């Protein structure tokens, strides 16, 4: 009787994991993906489903490698440490590959590049990085936006938030004068909040690559992600996903269909 009950419980657990979008890879382990729920267009949740450029690209990569994914929301400031300690197998949220972060986690091959936008409200008087001195500028703690602000506008007053939603709310309410977001995210916020009179006053393009984060030393998983990434670039999936989420952003030559 006890053995039968255990079998029923086990079957129910598998059903629950499947309903949550999780699954098992070829070695029988659940691949948990730490991501964000509010960072359009890279990583966000819509109608209960995790989507965005990074997450949809990762889904396509996983399909090529016969991997199934379970997405879990977290805060960006905690994500890399959660990958490092094994809470998540993969980090997916437009993570820029900096030397500092490489000391904590390993990364996949690059799949995009970091681009930032300075966003403010009409009438605040912010036009570019040279006009940020003395202003309260919101950033998500631990992001490239955070480090960029410190390096390029040290006289600004950095106001750090745990996630994009809190930063946007503060910008709309007037609690901060401006914010630094991913460029596409900033443009999306301006387009979808007309009453707040938000505008992106300057776009900053960098050569810092984005990558999926994995635990240091997990070369097997990194290799599978890289193999899948090559496949989705070559067959044009990368470009299709990019057009869906970032239609106005240029496609770097190395991500064009046919590249290997």
Stronger pLDDT, 92 or 143, i.e. the higher one: 92
* Domains with residue ranges and CATH for the chain: 2-111+211-255 (3.40.190.10), 114-207 (3.40.190.10)
**Per-residue pLDDT for 23 more than 60?**
no
**pLDDT reported for residue 175:** 98
Judge contact between 179 and 203, C-beta under 8 A. no
- What is the per-residue DSSP string for 56-115? HHHHHHHHHTT--EEEEE--HHHHHHHHHTTS-SEEES--B--HHHHTT-EE-S--EEEE
Summarize the confidence of residues 182-199 as an average pLDDT: 93
For 54-104, what is each residue's pLDDT tens digit? 999 999 999 999 999 999 999 999 999 999 999 999 999 999 999 999 999
**pLDDT reported for residue 219:** 97
61 CB burial (10 A radius; 0-12, 13-18, 19+): buried
The mean-pLDDT minimum among 24-33, 113-122, 199-208 falls in 24-33
**Per-residue pLDDT for 19 more than 70?**
no
> Can you give the pTM of this predicted structure?
0.77
Summarize the confidence of residues 110-118 as an average pLDDT: 94
**pLDDT reported for residue 20:** 38
Stronger pLDDT, 16 or 211, i.e. the higher one: 211
């Amino acid at each position: 009787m006890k053995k039968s009950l255990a079998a029923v419980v086990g079957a129910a657990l598998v059903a629950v994991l499947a309903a949550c979008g999780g699954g098992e890879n070829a070695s029988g382990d659940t691949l948990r993906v730490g991501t964000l729920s509010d960072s359009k267009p890279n990583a966000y949740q819509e109608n209960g489903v995790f989507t965005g450029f990074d997450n949809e690209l990762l889904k396509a990569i996983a399909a090529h490698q016969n991997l199934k994914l379970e997405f879990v929301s977290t805060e960006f400031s905690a994500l890399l440490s959660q990958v490092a300690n094994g809470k998540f197998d993969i980090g997916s949220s437009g993570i820029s590959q900096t030397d500092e972060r490489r000391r904590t986690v390993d990364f996949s091959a690059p799949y995009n590049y970091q681009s930032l936008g300075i966003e403010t409200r009409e009438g605040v008087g912010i036009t570019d990085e040279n006009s940020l001195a003395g202003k309260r500028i919101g950033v998500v703690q631990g992001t490239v936006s955070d480090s960029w602000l410190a390096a390029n506008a040290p006289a600004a007053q950095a106001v750090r938030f745990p996630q994009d939603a809190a930063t946007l709310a503060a910008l709309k309410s007037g609690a901060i004068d401006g914010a630094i977001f991913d460029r596409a995210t900033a443009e999306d916020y301006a387009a979808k909040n007309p009453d707040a009179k938000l505008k992106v006053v300057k776009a900053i393009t960098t050569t810092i690559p984005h990558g999926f984060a994995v635990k240091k030393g997990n070369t097997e998983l990194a290799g599978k992600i890289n193999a899948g990434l090559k496949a989705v670039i070559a067959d044009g999936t990368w470009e299709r996903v990019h057009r869906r989420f970032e239609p106005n952003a240029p496609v770097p030559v190395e991500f064009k269909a046919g590249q290997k």
